[in-house]
Amino acid sequence: MDAIPATLAPGGPRGSARERATGRWPLRVRLTVTVASFGLLALATCVLAPLVGSTQISLARVFDTSIPFAQNVDAQIFFVARLPRVLAGALVGAALATSGVVFQAMLDELGPEAHMMDGKAMPMKLEAWPGGRWYRDLGNNAGHLWAHVQVIKPPTLLELYGPMPMSYPALNHVQYRLKAEGGRTRLTFVHKAMGLLLPEHRDGMPEGWGHWLDGIRDLAERRARAGGAKK
C-alpha cells in the first residue's frame, strides 16, 4: 500500500512521525468518518425504504413539485403512509440501541468494572441469567455471595436479591429498570431491605448505591461517545 502524503497524513503536518510512517489516520478522524458514513447510510435508508411496498412509487415523482400534492399519489404514499413509519422505526431502534449500551454498562459496573468509593478496584462476577450469582471472587475458593438474579430482561430490567454486603440475617432486593426516552435512557433504581439492619449499612446505603449508579452513568457515557465500543 502506498504511503499517504504528508499533507494528508493523520493530523496533517502535526501528525506524529509514527502516524506519518504508518499512514494511519488519528482516532478522532477515523471516528468522524465512520460516524458520518453510517449517518449517510441511515439517511439513504430512510429515503429509500418508503419506496418498498405493495404499491410501486417513483422517487422522481414523489419530489416532482410540478404536480400538486393533492393529485400526486406517489407523494401522498411516501410522506403520509410510509415515511412516518420508517422514521418511527428508526427512532425506536436508536432508543433500543442506547438502552443496550446502558444495560451492558450496568452489567459491567456490577461485575469486572466495580470499584469502591475510594477508587480501589473491587471486581465482582455477575452471572447474567435467572438464578445466576452475583458474588466477589477472592480466589482459592474464597469469596462473598452478594445476591442471585431474580429477573433479567435485557435491555430493560434487572432484579437481584440476597444479603449483598450484609453478613447477618438480612435480605435485600434491588431493581434496575431502564426506559428509553428520546435519545436518552432513564435508569430507575429501587432498593428494599428487611431484617436486622445495622445503622452503618442503613445510613450508608444511599451514598453507596449512588456511587454505583454514577459509575454506570459514566461508563455508559464513555462508551456512547466511543460508538458503544468497549474500551
pTM across the whole model? 0.59
92 lies in a domain? yes
Secondary structure of the chain in HEC code, one letter for each residue:
CCCCCHHHCCCHHHCCHHHHHHCCCCHHHHHHHHHHHHHHHHHHHHHHHHHCCCCCCCHHHHCCCCCCHHHCHHHHHHHHHHHHHHHHHHHHHHHHHHHHHHHHHHHHHCCCCCECCCCCECCCEECCCCCCEEEEEEECCEEEEEEEEEEEECCCEEEEEECCCCCCCEEEEEEEEEEEECCEEEEEEEEEEEECCCHHHHHHHHHHHHHHHHHHHHHHHHHHHCCCCCC
pLDDT of residue 13: 44
pLDDT of residue 30: 74
Considering 50, 71, 98, which residue would you say is the last residue of a domain?
A: 98
Whether residues 32 and 140 share a domain: the answer is no
How many domains does the chain fold into?
2
Considering 74, 98, 122, which residue would you say is the last residue of a domain?
A: 98
Q: Please give the residue range of the domain that contains residue 31.
A: 6-98
Considering 43, 74, 98, which residue would you say is the last residue of a domain?
A: 98
Whether residues 57 and 120 share a domain: the answer is no
Q: What parts of the chain have a pLDDT lower than 50?
A: 1-21, 96, 228-231
